Amino acid sequence: MSTPVIRPFTADDVEPAGRLLALRHEAHLGAQPLLDGRYAEAAAATSEVASAWRDGASGSVAELGDDLVGYLIGSPKAATSWGPNLWVESAGQAALNPEFVRDLYASAAQRWVDEGHTAHYVVVPSYDDALVDVWFRLGFGQQQAHGLRDLEVTTTTADSAVAVRRATADDISALAALDLVLPQHQRRAPVFSAVEPPPLAEAEAEWVESIGDPTYATFVATVDGNVVGSAMGCALELSSSHTALIRPAHAGFLGFAAVFPDSRGLGAGRRLGESVVAWAGEAGFDCVATDWRVTNVLSSRTWPALGFRTSFLRLHRLVGY
C-alpha cells in the first residue's frame, strides 16, 4: 500500500471529496437499497460535503500524487448532552482505502483535542466492515444504530393478549408516564445515558397540547383494556438525527416506543412497531426508519427482529481515559 500525504482539509477539497463520497454511497446502496440513491451522484454528494464543511469544522485529506484519496471532516455540536463533543457526520468521511482513515484521524484529532473536544462521535456506513474495523482500532465502540425496513408487515398472531389502537385524549396520563419510561430505562445499565427524564407534569402538558396533532401517529398497546405501552410515527424529516445520507427520500419514522416494565415480555413492543410500519404504508411512505442504542438490550433485539436492517452506526470514543 502506497503511503498517502496527509494535510489539513481546505475549501478547495470539497469537490473532490464529494466525488469520493458518491463512490462510497454507491457501494452502500448495494447493501442497503432503501437509502436515497441521489447521493451516488457527485453533485448531491458534494453538496453534503459542503454542508459538513461549515463554520467550526476542520479535518484532513489524504493525497497520492495529484489525487485526493481520502478525507475526514468533523465539527462540534452545541448540545451539552453530548459532552465536549466533536462529530464526524454521515458525509464527513470517505477513502479509497479504509486504512487511510487512521492516518486522517491521527492528523485531525490532535486539533480537536487541543480545542477541548474530547468526546468524539463518528457516523459510519454499516455495510463497510473494513471501515468499521478501522474505527474500532482507533478506540471507538458502537453507541447507536440507524435502521431501515420495507413496508411489508408480518402481523403477530391473533391470539396475542396485546391489542393496539390509536391514542386518544383519555390516554394522556399513561402517555406522559410512558414518556419517562424510556429515558429512565436508558439511564440504567448497560446503557448509562446521561439524558434526564422530563418532569411528569411537563410531559402531561405537552400531550394535552399535541394529542390531536395529525403530524404524529400515536398508538397505545393495551392488555385487558389497560395501556401498557405506546409508540409514535411521523415523517422522517422531523428527526434531527436522520439527516443527509442517513435519510431516505420519503420515509416514515418509528420515533418512539416504550412499554411499562411490568408488561414487558408480552409482545407489546413488537405489536406497536408493526402498527407504526402499517401506518407508514397507509400514509404513502416508501419505507420506515428507526434508531436505537446498541447497549439497550431490549430495543437492540426488538427492532432487528421486526425487520430493521442497520444502515449506519454511530461510534463513540472518550479521549483521555
One DSSP character per residue, 29-53 reads HHH-TTS-GGGGSHHHHHHHHHHHS
Radius of gyration of the chain (CA): 21
Q: Per-residue pLDDT tens for 126-151?
A: 999 999 999 999 999 999 999 999 99
Interatomic CA distance for residues 170 and 148, integer angstroms:
32
With a cut of 90, say whether residue 163 has pLDDT above it. yes
Distance (Å, whole) CA 257 – CA 82: 22
The answer to whether the peptide bond before residue 190 is cis (omega within 30 degrees of 0) is yes
Annotate 208-223 with b (16+ C-beta within 10 A) or e (fewer): eeebeeeebbbbbbbb
pLDDT in tens, 285-308: 999 999 999 999 999 999 999 999
The band of 157, judged by pLDDT with boundaries at 50, 70 and 90, is: low
Reported as a single tens digit per residue, the pLDDT across 181-211 is 999 999 999 999 988 999 999 999 999 999 9
Looking at this protein, which amino acid is placed at residue 239? S
Per-residue pLDDT at 166 exceeds 60: yes
- Model confidence at 159, pLDDT cuts 50, 70, 90, reads low
Segments of the chain assigned to CATH 3.40.630.30: 5-139, 162-308
**Residue 81 banded pLDDT, cuts 50, 70, 90:** confident
Angle, alpha carbons 177-271-175 (nearest 5°): 15
pLDDT at 153: 74
Cβ count near 285 (within 10 Å): 21
| Distance in angstroms (rounded) separating the CA atoms of residues 40 and 44 | 8
321 pLDDT tier (thresholds 50, 70, 90): confident
Written as one string, the DSSP assignment of 151-214 is: S---PPPTT-SEEEEE--GGGHHHHHHHHHHHHHHHTSTTT---PPPPPHHHHHHHHHHHTT-T
Report the C-alpha gap between 11 and 263 in whole angstroms.
Answer: 54
pLDDT at 160: 80
- Indicate if the pLDDT at residue 111 is higher than 80: yes
pLDDT digits (tens, 9 = 90+) for 224-279: 999 999 999 999 999 999 999 999 999 999 999 999 999 999 999 999 999 999 99
Span 224-239, pLDDT tens digits: 999 999 999 999 999 9
Q: Right CATH number for 5-139 from 3.30.70.1230, 3.40.630.30, 3.30.420.40, 3.90.76.10?
A: 3.40.630.30
Residue 24 has pLDDT above 90, yes or no: yes
- pTM value is 0.95
- In whole angstroms, give the CA distance from residue 238 to residue 243: 10
What is the reported pLDDT for 39? 98
| pLDDT of the residue at 156 | 63
pLDDT band at 78 (very low <50, low <70, confident <90, very high): confident
Section 30-41 average pLDDT: 98
Give me the pLDDT at residue 209, please.
Answer: 96
Q: Is the confidence at residue 223, as pLDDT, over 70?
A: yes
Q: How confident is the prediction for the chain on average, in pLDDT?
A: 96
Q: Report the alpha-carbon distance of residue 76 to residue 47 in Å, rounded.
A: 19
Residue 242 has a pLDDT of: 95
Contacts of 134 (CB under 8 A, 6+ apart): 98, 99, 101, 102
Count Cβ atoms within 10 A of the Cβ of residue 15 and give its class: 0-12 exposed, 13-18 middle, 19 or more buried. middle
Are 231 and 219 within 8 A, CB to CB? yes
Superfamily of domain 162-308 in the CATH hierarchy: Gcn5-related N-acetyltransferase (GNAT) (3.40.630.30)
Query: Which helix (DSSP H) or strand (DSSP E) does residue 3 occupy?
Result: none
Q: What is the pLDDT of residue 158?
A: 55
Give me the percent of the chain exceeding a pLDDT of 70.
98
Percent of the chain with pLDDT over 90: 93
Q: Which amino acid is at 301?
A: R
Are 275 and 218 contacting, i.e. CB atoms less than 8 angstroms apart? no
- 244 contacts 90 by C-beta, under 8 angstroms: yes
